[in-house]
């Protein structure tokens, strides 16, 4: 899932300081799961904006809305008419959501209320860890399902390096060595011989930005090859 966190309120206040009608728009997917941009957070941010406006003697109308996904035109279409009533949409989604609103509602200003952090997974109650860089050239089949590109601060594909100390990374004693984790995983699977295989250099061209993926184009490519 994509993990994002709300910007400091001072920063949010600053980017909407000249706005008189603001729609705080939440996203019911990833940021809702990590409790940073869902319906409840929309309610809290909208209330904070109203309160700040009153304290500063400013007249500001603040609307609240949450859609399932801001990165999907099907759901963005649901707020098309409502968006016309506001000067700006304050998006509580990841960067993809913000840009989705920009693309499909291009006549309204869209501002981000969030900072997108990473693609991760839960590692405890209310806690998430980055596990994927979305590099476009996955090596998990060679490393026991543990990503060295993300888990290793140095992104070493064939490790461990000489900085490994008692299973910890030299960058920080709080970070387990990715290649010790990979070793233990392969040991549990009875596949330690895989450690002798060299992980090929990554094809970084597959991770060119901006990335793009089209089901239609993939199907047409398959037909051409067949």
Q: C-alpha distances in angstroms, 220 versus 120, 136, 208? A: 32, 20, 21
Over residues 97-106, the pLDDT tens digits come to: 999 999 999 8
Tell me what pLDDT residue 1 has: 86
Tell me what pLDDT residue 207 has: 63
Band of pLDDT at residue 213, cut at 50, 70 and 90: low
Going from the N-terminus, what domains does the chain have, and what CATH number goes with each?
2-118 (3.40.50.2300), 137-197 (no CATH)
Band of pLDDT at residue 197, cut at 50, 70 and 90: confident
Tell me what pLDDT residue 192 has: 93
Average pLDDT rounded to a whole number, residues 31-52: 94
Average pLDDT rounded to a whole number, residues 137-161: 91
Tell me what pLDDT residue 124 has: 83
Tell me what pLDDT residue 135 has: 86
For the entire predicted model, the pTM comes to 0.79
Tell me what pLDDT residue 64 has: 97
Tell me what pLDDT residue 209 has: 63
Can you give the C-alpha Rg of the chain in angstroms? 22
Pick from 98, 2, 30, 18: nearest CA to 59: 18
Tell me what pLDDT residue 178 has: 95
Average pLDDT rounded to a whole number, residues 142-156: 92
Stronger pLDDT, 114 or 221, i.e. the higher one? 114
pLDDT of 221 higher than 80: no
């Amino acid at each position: 899932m994509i993990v994002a966190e709300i910007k400091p309120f001072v920063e949010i206040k600053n980017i909407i300081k000249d706005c008189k009608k603001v729609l705080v728009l939440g996203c019911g997917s990833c940021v809702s799961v990590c409790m940073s941009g869902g319906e409840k957070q929309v309610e809290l941010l909208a209330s904070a904006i109203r309160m700040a406006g009153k304290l500063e003697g400013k007249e500001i109308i603040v609307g609240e809305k949450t859609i399932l996904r801001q990165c999907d035109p099907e759901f963005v279409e649901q707020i098309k008419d409502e968006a016309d009533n506001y000067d700006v949409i304050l998006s509580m989604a990841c960067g993809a959501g913000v840009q989705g609103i920009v693309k499909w509602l291009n006549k309204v200003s869209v501002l981000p209320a969030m900072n997108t952090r990473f693609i991760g997974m839960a590692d405890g109650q209310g806690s998430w860890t980055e596990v994927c860089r979305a590099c476009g050239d996955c090596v998990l089949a060679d490393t026991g399902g543990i990503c060295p590109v993300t888990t290793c601060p140095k992104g070493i594909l064939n490790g461990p390096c000489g900085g490994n100390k008692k299973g910890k990374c030299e960058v920080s004693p709080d970070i387990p060595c990715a290649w010790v984790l990979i070793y233990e995983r392969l040991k549990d699977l009875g596949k330690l011989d895989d450690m002798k295989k060299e992980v090929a250099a990554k094809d970084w061209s597959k991770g060119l930005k901006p990335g793009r993926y089209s089901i239609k184009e993939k199907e047409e490519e398959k037909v051409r090859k067949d």
